[in-house]
Structure 1
Amino acid sequence: MKYLVVGLGNIGAEYANTRHNIGFMIADRLAEKFKCTFESERQAFVTEFKHKGRSIHLIKPTTYMNLSGKAVRHWMNQLKIPQDNLLVLVDDLALPFGTLRMRAKGSDAGHNGLKNIQELLGNNKYPRLRFGIGDSFSKGKQIDYVLGDFDKKEQEELEIFIEKSCDMVLSFASIGIQRTMTTYNN
């Protein structure tokens, strides 16, 4: 069984710790836990590890957020991974900070990374783990908010939610999306 886990984010030091890069942060933590290193390959930083007899391919697209679908489609084809075994890790403004929701499908909710993935896959029926970043910004300040760093209070709790996200990714690959949603979505 092979899985493709895609952490969404933007490359570059200026984006490293921003809310929009939570997908990269979760991917980095998984790689750290399994002592594997990302290599720069076509359209993504790529690594792989084994967990409970499954091969988990982990990518961080280098296409920037708005073109994430290019990397997703390429690596799904390259690795021959079915859409049900794809999991996208994404930030979500509609959820309060730290709320984690796994879904088997859904709308892009205005998220440009998801919008591009949906366009290039031709549907919205792919699993995603939505990481709530909240919506504490004034009108017209959404871009500054998502491209801003987590605030001090959020940073104090961030590690807990990243760890729980990793647990959800591993659960998805080992017991499937339905049981993972039942166990972790609250």
Structure 2
Amino acid sequence: MDELIVVTGLGNPGRKYADTRHNVGFWVVELLALRHKIKMSKVKFKALYGEGVISGKKVLLVMPQTYMNLSGESVRDIISWYKIPVGNIIIIYDDIDLPVGKIRVRPKGSAGTHNGMKSVIYQIMSDEFPRVRIGIDKPPEGWDLADYVLSKFSKEEKDKISQAVVNAADAVEAIIGQGINQAMNKFNNL
């Protein structure tokens, strides 16, 4: 149980952003904290975080407080402080390229259009880490992307996104407990 896993949900701090599409990564971390009785009460590394155990492994649950575009600073600080390999981080974030409520588990890959992920990859100089993407769908015709990701889910979307947050939390537990391949097999077809 000596290997530390850092589970980071991307989002924006503050009440103003709490219910927005861009914050689904935070929602997953909050659900994992609740399930595993991990207190999210420590502040360091430009983040709010808590320490605990999931699937028999030591974990840090992390919510960067830098605002989305600088999320990588927090992840970089944690990696260098704990001296952990990049493969021991799991990043959870929203994805406009997936329909609302779909999740995708991947072992590595590019940031796509996501500024938070661009920041993470830039700061740690690697894209070789597992991630869980949660679909929030593309902006409707005529919407600015920034306005869209900072908007709230519609009533129709709320049930789908609630289920996606549960599935994403389950997927993180599967990555930690059974490995990335098992998690991909189980969750990428939901």
TM-score range, shorter chain: over 0.9
User: Are 1:146 and 2:149 counterparts?
Assistant: yes
Of 60, 65, 84, the residue aligned with 2:87 is 84
CA-CA distance at 1:61 after TM superposition: 0.3
SS at match of 1:106: coil
Report the counterpart of residue 100 of structure 1 in structure 2: 103
Q: What RMSD, in angstroms, separates the aligned Cα atoms of the two structures?
A: 1.2
- Cα deviations by residue, 1:24-72 (Å, 9 ceiling, x for unpaired): 0111111111122212223000102212320111100011100111100
Report the counterpart of residue 188 of structure 2 in structure 1: 185
Of 37, 43, 57, the residue aligned with 1:35 is 37
Of 2, 5, 9, the residue aligned with 2:4 is 2
CA-CA distance at 1:161 after TM superposition: 1.4
Amino acid at match of 2:184: M
CA-CA distance at 1:140 after TM superposition: 4.4
Q: Which segments of 5 or more consecutive residues in structure 1 lack a partner in the other structure?
A: none
CA distance in 2, matches of 1:42, 1:184: 31
CA-CA distance at 1:125 after TM superposition: 1.6
SS at match of 1:6: strand
SS at match of 1:144: helix
Of 173, 176, 180, the residue aligned with 2:176 is 173
CA distance in 1, matches of 2:31, 2:55: 18
Contact in 1 for aligned 2:100/2:161 (Cα 8 Å): no
CA-CA distance at 1:7 after TM superposition: 0.3
Question: Equivalent pairs: percent with the same residue?
Answer: 37
Amino acid at match of 1:167: D
Report the counterpart of residue 140 of structure 2 in structure 1: 137
Structure 2 length-normalised TM: 0.93
Report the counterpart of residue 50 of structure 2 in structure 1: 47
SS at match of 1:37: coil
CA distance in 1, matches of 2:7, 2:54: 13
CA-CA distance at 1:104 after TM superposition: 1.1
CA distance in 1, matches of 2:163, 2:114: 24
CA-CA distance at 1:83 after TM superposition: 1.1
CA distance in 2, matches of 1:183, 1:155: 23
Q: Which segments of 5 or more consecutive residues in structure 2 lack a partner in the other structure?
A: none
Contact in 1 for aligned 2:86/2:126 (Cα 8 Å): no
CA distance in 1, matches of 2:177, 2:64: 24
Structure 1 length-normalised TM: 0.95
Counterparts of residues 61-72 of structure 1 (less than 5 Å): 61-72=64-75
Contact in 1 for aligned 2:100/2:160 (Cα 8 Å): no
Amino acid at match of 1:92: D
